[in-house]
Chain A
Amino acid sequence: AQTVTQSQPEMSVQEAETVTLSCTYDTSENNYYLFWYKQPPSRQMILVIRQEAYKQQNATENRFSVNFQKAAKSFSLKISDSQLGDTAMYFCAFMKHRAGGGADGLTFGKGTHLIIQP
């Protein structure tokens, strides 16, 4: 079984600052995917960024980037130039790759509540 740990229940930064959210995971799998999802007060789960474990290059999506350290089983999210609209819960999630195709369920961390102060 996989576990995902987010050690920061809440973080608060000023608008325009850079913030890094931490995530570690434990697995015996070699092929898997990692995700960061954002959940604003509307409770909609929104994909922020994804990383395939076989790719060494860190994923980036505009102001969002990850630092993926496979050996250390670490997957942190960096938000640059933070905006008020980034205020939300952020969940780190793991999904193993199923041999032969098909999907598998997500294992989530407990989440980090990020507050962007004006």
Chain B
Amino acid sequence: DAGVIQSPRHEVTEMGQEVTLRCKPISGHNSLFWYRQTMMRGLELLIYFNNNVPIDDSGMPEDRFSAKMPNASFSTLKIQPSEPRDSAVYFCASISGGAVTDTQYFGPGTRLTVL
């Protein structure tokens, strides 16, 4: 079975441009998470969804960031406008959830560079 799929794997853009990161969770998983990894702040949770509904977006740094999950097999994280401090690795993870919580499985990450 395929794991969590993220695209693109690398993204280089210029300050002010819109950036869209994409994630396909593992089939059957009903919770999806977006994390950001930087040298300064480490790994931090941005937002997560249960059954396509956003549950906690308190980690989203500011209004320039938005995330959607239109269906169970697809989610996007958008940054508009992008800034150099947004440069990081962005991970998507999914979990089966339900009454017995399982383990979060991570995608390969998207390395974003904003010039």
Contacts and interface: CB of A to CB of B under 8 A. Distances in A.
Interface of A: 33, 35, 37, 42-47, 50, 91, 95, 97-98, 101-111
A33 B108 contact: no
A interface: dominant SS: loop
B43 A91 contact: yes
Contact of A111 (B42, B45, B91): B42
Contacts of A106: 33, 35, 43, 45, 93, 104
Q: Interface range on chain B: under 10, 10 to 19, 20 to 34, or 35 or more? A: 20 to 34
Contact of A108 (B31, B43, B105, B111): B43
B interface: dominant SS: strand
A43 B106 CA distance: 10
B48 A103 contact: yes
Contacts of A97: 101
Contacts of B101: 33, 95, 97-98, 101-104
Contacts of A104: 48, 101
Interface-central residue, A50, A95, A106, A108, by most chain B CB under 10 Å: A106
A102 B31 contact: yes
A47 B101 CA distance: 15
B99 interface: yes
Contacts of A42: 108
B5 interface: no
B89 interface: yes
